[in-house]
Amino acid sequence: MMKKSEAVINRLKRLIQLAGSGEKLEPLIFAQFNELLTKVPLLYFILCTNSLALAYTHYGIAPDYLTIYVAGFLSVACILRAFKWHTFKQKTFSLEQAKHQIKMTVLFSIIMGIGFSLWCFVLYDYGDVSLRAHIAYFMSVTVIGIIVCLIHLPAAVWSTTLTVGIPFVLFFSASGEPIFVAIAINFTMVAGVLVLITLSYYRAFSNVVIAKQDLVVQHAQTQRLNVQNELLANQDGLTKLANRRSFANYLSQKLNELSHTSSFIVGLIDLDGFKPVNDIHGHAAGDRVLMEVSQRLTKALNDDCMLARIGGDEFAIVIDHSASHNEVEAFGKKITQILGQPFIMRTGLVQISGSCGFAIYPEAGDTVDALMERADFALYQAKSEARGSTVIFTAEHERLIRQKSKLELALNQSVKNKELSLHYQPIVNGQTEQLLGLEALARWDNPELGHISPTEFIAVAEKTGMVTEITLGLFEQAVCDLKLWPEHLYLSFNLSVHDVISHKTLLELKRIVDFHGIPSKRIQFEITETTMMSDLDLCSATTKKLQAQGFMIALDDFGSGYSSLSYIHKLAFDNLKIDSSFVANLLHDQRSQGVVKTILELCISFNVSCTVEGVETQEQKDLLLTLGCNNMQGYYFYRPAPIEQFDLSENVKLFD
Ligand code: C2E
Ligand code: CA
Ligand code: CA
């Protein structure tokens, strides 16, 4: 029983409750309040006018206290409420205040309803049928008017219906007068329908308000996301510097705004030796180095400079004023000096350096692409000069670019025109001078450009993606040559970084060897230390795979790159080739001797063989022998030459 009555009360509550809850209630209350601001004064105006009309028709018939004092009192109450609501239009209301006024409106609808109903019922006793009909007309029409005015406040609609509508129906039904009973029935029908319409209107109203509010929230969210996206799209997540896109935008905006007389400088900074930091110290340490690099650079730059991180370990700057070549050079030196300071990591000290390439507007170019390309070219030159160099793009570089594109075109034709060939340079036992193997070295003679060094054209081929075709062509040629050599001689073949990281190329190399029926153990692949360092994990996995297939691996040019002995244990190789730069200084430089000795000891402890490259004189050879080095290669023994110039059957004879 109790539960049933509770359920009815809850249903009633729900009927008069506001749709929406929590944060959604707030906009609904304000919307309701705004509607009431115009409707409540109107409602009291109707009530006041109608009741004065009723008082007027009863004046002189009913006692004065009813037609003057009670009517006056009720009218003044109506005017005061109407005026109060009218003044609300000028004020701003908090949520709580608005709620309070809405509650007060409901309360007043009850008080006024009871007041007016009682007044009407007392007046009923004093008039004839027409005056009673006026009362019935007044009550029914006024209730309907009020319901319409309070359409945005269901609680007040209900309270008016309960305090005026129901007593009205009961009172006139009980009068026994058929006309009044008919009016009561008419009223019940009309008011009932009106209440239902009011409620469904209110639901629709609250849904619109909530939907509007949802739209406002969604709009705010979209706006927030847009700002976040904008930030993400233009900012480097790690260093919070501008990213490549934002840098290019800045540059392009700058070029659009510039007058023709102003000048500025675009600089690119690339870290040398950063990759091994990631590989050896881990990515977290790498990230910390990048953060510190960005802090050091930011500190070193003036306010008129813009700094961005445009790639993994590549930074870019715009220096927003003109400067002489000397000044730019000095600036580059300052940057490289800052980056050369060691970085203190938990895993130890990290030493890197930075190379800089600069392009000056308008000499170097007048578009974003041209300036970036020229700065990049200068950077490339700087990196190939030495670690930590600075190069400014000049007219000479422009000439080199043209020559390079000529070279690219010619290289494209070289394979088809069979311009590439192989020379071989023996690797010997220094003591006995007996041949151990031969290193294949690529040669390119072009009718127009003449002889081009492999260092130069292999780099071009790597850039243009031709290197795979060149490697495979030359390797097939080398394997064909090897078939004619005595069994104890091996072929040493250089692989470029692109070959090492390409699974397809490696499969193809193995296919060639198998096709010619050559045992893999007669082939050694030379991979430079720099290649290895470009992706330590991938390259060491590759070399392990090649070793598993029976090939030998030589770590080429050891000591020329990031000679860090700490990573060497991570690499899989059979032979270490000490870079010729150590031999060049060997006789006069105690340090070079020390380094060679240390490397030899390292090779013994790793159980790998060691070859010294670039042996040019007897003195060098003798000294190397005393240091304990056996395998050698260099002009002292043999210069690279076409295979026909070696009589391998007689074991080593050079015909020139
Ligand atoms: P590398 O592999 O270190 O080859 C040794 C280079 O030193 C060769 O230069 C050789 O001619 C030169 N050399 C040998 N003995 C001496 C000496 O006693 N004194 C001096 N000063 N130099 C000596 P080359 O032939 O110009 O090759 C340069 C580089 O080009 C090679 O260095 C190698 O990295 C690359 N390369 C050559 N052929 C190929 C190839 O077929 N594929 C790939 N990927 N790279 C190649
Ligand atoms: Ca080599
Ligand atoms: Ca070498």
Query: Which CATH number covers residue 250?
Result: 3.30.70.270
Q: Which atom of ligand 1 is nearest to the CA of 495?
A: 44
Q: Please name the residue whose Cα sits nearest to atom 10 of ligand 1.
A: 640
Q: Which atom of ligand 1 is nearest to the CA of 454?
A: 30
Find the mean pLDDT for residues 33-44.
Answer: 91
pLDDT band at residue 656 using 50, 70 and 90 as cut-offs: very low
Q: Please name the residue whose Cα sits nearest to atom 43 of ligand 1.
A: 494
Q: Is 287 inside a domain boundary?
A: yes
* Residue 334 confidence (pLDDT) above 90: yes
Structural domain for 590, as ranges: 419-645
* CA of residue 432 to ligand 2 center, whole Å: 22
* CA of residue 570 to ligand 1 center, whole Å: 26
Q: Is 413 inside a domain boundary?
A: no
From first CA to last CA, the distance across the chain in angstroms is: 121
Summarize pLDDT for 408-455 with one digit per residue, the tens. 999 999 988 889 999 999 999 999 999 999 999 999 999 999 999 999
* Residue 556 confidence (pLDDT) above 90: yes
Q: Which of 413, 488, 493, 401 is nearest to 445 (CA)?
A: 413
**Predicted local distance difference test score (pLDDT) of residue 280:** 82
- Rg over alpha carbons for the chain, rounded to the nearest Å, is 48
Q: Is 401 inside a domain boundary?
A: no
Out of 421, 441, 530, 654, mutate this one to test ligand 1's pocket (max ligand atoms within 8 Å of CB): namely 441
Beta 305-311 vs 314-319: how paired, if at all?
antiparallel
Out of 477, 494, 577, mutate this one to test ligand 1's pocket (max ligand atoms within 8 Å of CB): namely 494
Summarize pLDDT for 367-396 with one digit per residue, the tens. 999 999 999 999 999 998 888 899 999 999
| Residues 203 and 110 reside in one and the same domain | yes
Which range has the worst mean pLDDT, 12-26, 271-285, 408-422, 436-450?
A: 12-26
* Residue 227 confidence (pLDDT) above 90: no
Residue 475 and residue 239: Cα distance in Å, rounded? 45
**Predicted local distance difference test score (pLDDT) of residue 12:** 53
As beta bridge partners, residue 439 has 425, 492
- Counting ligands in written order, the one closest to the CA of 525 is 2
| Residues 331 and 479 reside in one and the same domain | no
Summarize pLDDT for 61-79 with one digit per residue, the tens. 999 999 999 999 999 999 9
| Residues 266 and 376 reside in one and the same domain | yes
Q: Extract long-range pairs of 499-503: CB within 8 Å, 24+ residues apart.
A: 499/467, 499/468, 499/471, 500/527, 500/531, 500/538, 500/539, 500/542, 500/543, 501/534, 501/535, 501/538, 501/539, 501/542, 502/468
Summarize pLDDT for 612-639 with one digit per residue, the tens. 999 999 999 999 999 999 999 999 999 9
Beta 435-446 vs 450-452: how paired, if at all?
antiparallel
Taking each helix axis as running N to C, give the angle between helix 283-300 and helix 325-340, from 0 to 180 degrees, rounded to the nearest 10: 140
Taking each helix axis as running N to C, give the angle between helix 95-123 and helix 25-58, from 0 to 180 degrees, rounded to the nearest 10: 20
Pocket of ligand 1 from Cβ distances under 6 Å: 425, 440-442, 453-455, 458, 474, 494-496, 526, 556-557, 580, 613-616, 633-635, 640
* Residue 21 confidence (pLDDT) above 60: no
Q: Which of 93, 94, 75 is nearest to 85 (CA)?
A: 93
| Residues 196 and 309 reside in one and the same domain | no
Q: Please name the residue whose Cα sits nearest to atom 28 of ligand 1.
A: 455
| Residues 581 and 441 reside in one and the same domain | yes
Find the mean pLDDT for residues 256-272.
Answer: 87
User: Which residues have beta carbons under 5 A from ligand 2 (an ion)?
Assistant: 494, 526, 556
* Residue 113 confidence (pLDDT) above 60: yes
* CA of residue 496 to ligand 3 center, whole Å: 12
Q: Three-class SS of residue 308?
A: strand
Q: Is 540 inside a domain boundary?
A: yes
Q: Is 225 inside a domain boundary?
A: no
**Predicted local distance difference test score (pLDDT) of residue 387:** 83
Q: Is 652 inside a domain boundary?
A: no
Is this model's pTM higher than 0.95 or not? no
Q: Is 175 inside a domain boundary?
A: yes
Query: pLDDT over 70 for what percent of the chain?
Result: 94
Which carries the bigger pLDDT value, residue 570 or residue 523?
523
Q: Please name the residue whose Cα sits nearest to atom 22 of ligand 1.
A: 614
Summarize pLDDT for 504-514 with one digit per residue, the tens. 999 999 999 99
* CA of residue 454 to ligand 2 center, whole Å: 11
Q: Which of 502, 482, 413, 485 is nearest to 452 (CA)?
A: 413
Which range has the worst mean pLDDT, 223-237, 378-392, 478-492, 597-611?
A: 223-237
User: In Å, what is the CA distance from 450 to each residue of 410, 411, 444?
Assistant: 11, 12, 8
Q: Is 596 inside a domain boundary?
A: yes
* CA of residue 645 to ligand 2 center, whole Å: 20
Q: Which amino acid is at 321?
A: H
| Residues 68 and 210 reside in one and the same domain | yes
Residue 66 and residue 125: Cα distance in Å, rounded? 12
Domain boundary among 202, 217, 232: 217
| Residues 352 and 388 reside in one and the same domain | yes
* Per-residue H/E/C for 285-300: HHHHHHHHHHHHHHHH
Number of domains in the chain: 3
**Predicted local distance difference test score (pLDDT) of residue 22:** 55
**Predicted local distance difference test score (pLDDT) of residue 654:** 43
Q: Please name the residue whose Cα sits nearest to atom 11 of ligand 1.
A: 640
Domain boundary among 217, 233, 263: 217
Find the mean pLDDT for residues 158-164.
Answer: 88
**Predicted local distance difference test score (pLDDT) of residue 403:** 86
Q: Which amino acid is at 89?
A: K
* Residue 14 confidence (pLDDT) above 60: no
Beta 490-494 vs 353-361: how paired, if at all?
unpaired
* CA of residue 590 to ligand 2 center, whole Å: 26
Q: Give the other-Cβ count within 10 Å of 403's Cβ.
A: 11
Q: Please name the residue whose Cα sits nearest to atom 37 of ligand 1.
A: 441
Q: Three-class SS of residue 351?
A: coil
Q: Extract long-range pairs of 99-105: CB within 8 Å, 24+ residues apart.
A: 99/29, 101/33, 101/36, 102/29, 102/32, 102/33, 102/36, 102/153, 105/36, 105/40, 105/150, 105/153, 105/156
| Residues 270 and 200 reside in one and the same domain | no
Q: How many CA atoms lie within 13 A of 72 on its CB side?
A: 6
Beta 420-429 vs 490-494: how paired, if at all?
unpaired
* CA of residue 535 to ligand 2 center, whole Å: 19
Mean pLDDT (the chain, rounded): 90
Residue 636 and residue 640: Cα distance in Å, rounded? 11
| Residues 433 and 382 reside in one and the same domain | no
* Residue 3 confidence (pLDDT) above 90: no
- Counting ligands in written order, the one closest to the CA of 578 is 3
pLDDT band at residue 500 using 50, 70 and 90 as cut-offs: very high
- Counting ligands in written order, the one closest to the CA of 611 is 3
| Residues 68 and 170 reside in one and the same domain | yes
* CA of residue 441 to ligand 1 center, whole Å: 6
Q: Please name the residue whose Cα sits nearest to atom 42 of ligand 1.
A: 494
| Residues 385 and 526 reside in one and the same domain | no
- Counting ligands in written order, the one closest to the CA of 471 is 1
Domain boundary among 182, 217, 252: 217
Q: Which atom of ligand 1 is nearest to the CA of 422?
A: 41
Q: Please name the residue whose Cα sits nearest to atom 2 of ligand 1.
A: 494
Q: Please name the residue whose Cα sits nearest to atom 3 of ligand 1.
A: 557
| Residues 443 and 585 reside in one and the same domain | yes
